[in-house]
Structures are given as C-alpha cells and as structure tokens.
Amino acid sequence: MIEDYKKILDEGARKAPFTLKFFKWVKKNKPKDLDVIVSQLHAEVFEEIDCLKCANCCASLGPRVSDRDIDKIATHLRIKPSTVSEKYLKIDEDNDFVFSSMPCPFLTADNYCHIYPSRPKACAEYPHTDRRRFIQLLDLTNKNAQTCPAVCLIIDKLANHYKYKTT
Ligand code: SF4
Ligand code: SF4
C-alpha cells in the first residue's frame, strides 16, 4: 500500500471515536437520502483511490467463499471444485470456507486479482459502500475503515455532507 493511503488509514484510526459518534447520530436520525449520498460518495472516492496501489483488503481480510464462488473459481481455473477447496481454502470458526492463507493466494505481485472476473461475491462487493440500506452496514463500515482508505474518505465526506463534525 502506498504511503498516502497508509496516512489516510492512520487518520481514520485517529478519528475512530468520532466516527462512532457520527454513526450513532446516523442511526438515530436515519437521513432519508443516505443511500443516494453514500453511493455518490462511493463513486467520487473510487475516482481518486486506485485499488491497484492498495490491495489491503486482498492482503489482510479473508472473504467468505461460498459454494457458488468455488464453482466459479473452478471453472475459471479449469480445475475441479474439490481441488479449489483442497488447494486454496480452509473452514473457519463460523464453518465458512475462507482462503487458507493471507495475503490471498490469487493476489499477484502487482496487486491484480488472478481470478478477477470470477472472484468471490464478498470480494466484488467490498467495501459495501454502494449497497442499499446502508444504515444496516454502519458497524461493518466502521470496521472496514481499519482496512480500506476509501472507506475512511467516504466517512469523512458523509460527515461533511451532514455537517457533522468528526474532529
Ligand atoms: S477496496 Fe479498499 S482496501 Fe481494497 S484495494 Fe480498494 S482501497 Fe484498498
Ligand atoms: S480473490 Fe481476488 S479480489 Fe478476492 S481477495 Fe483474492 S485477490 Fe482479492
């Protein structure tokens, strides 16, 4: 991850207590335009953040891999689904398949995803800041701010939008 993104994460960590208060405010006030605004901010932030200069999610988080994901990966790699699970997956404490090692075995040295068109749904949806009913994802978003610089920026911009002071 480039230094600029590390600084954004550090700043996000510094603001974590304020973010918690802001999200409590959001839960209480339930702004009607929340989904529209978050989706706009998501698009705006990902215009400036380049995931290929980051890859922190692929390096540190273990996404859940569903049976459907396994089938897709197997087709992509032209191997059997059982070989995918044997070679690349393990069962975690919640009884879900996750990658057996992190950084993800499909993350390449130049931060590309080797199975990008067939990556797990959880990878494709990360960091979930353009999902509907965002109000249900505030706790997850707070957690993702520890990993994803884009999430930190989206939270900042969201607080600015509602004129909520987070510093
Ligand atoms: S989604 Fe977030 S954590 Fe993942 S590579 Fe992009 S900016 Fe980094
Ligand atoms: S499958 Fe691809 S997108 Fe998902 S964690 Fe691995 S490298 Fe990242």
Nearest ligand 1 atom, CA 149: 7
Query: Residue 95 above 90 pLDDT?
Result: yes
- As a whole-number percent, the residues of the chain with pLDDT over 90 amount to 93
User: Residues 158, 162, 164, CA angle at the centre, nearest 5°?
Assistant: 90
Per the prediction, the chain carries an average pLDDT of: 94
Task: Say how far apart CA 160 and CA 55 lie, in whole Å.
Answer: 27
Provide the terminal-to-terminal Cα distance of the chain, rounded to the nearest Å: 25
At 166, the pLDDT band (50, 70, 90 cuts) reads: low
Closest protein CA for atom 6 of ligand 1: 51
Contacts of 119 (CB under 8 A, 6+ apart): 69, 106, 113
pLDDT in tens, 1-41: 999 999 999 999 999 999 999 999 999 999 999 999 999 99
Nearest ligand 2 atom to the CA of 105 is: 6
Q: What pLDDT, on the 0 to 100 scale, is given for residue 22?
A: 95
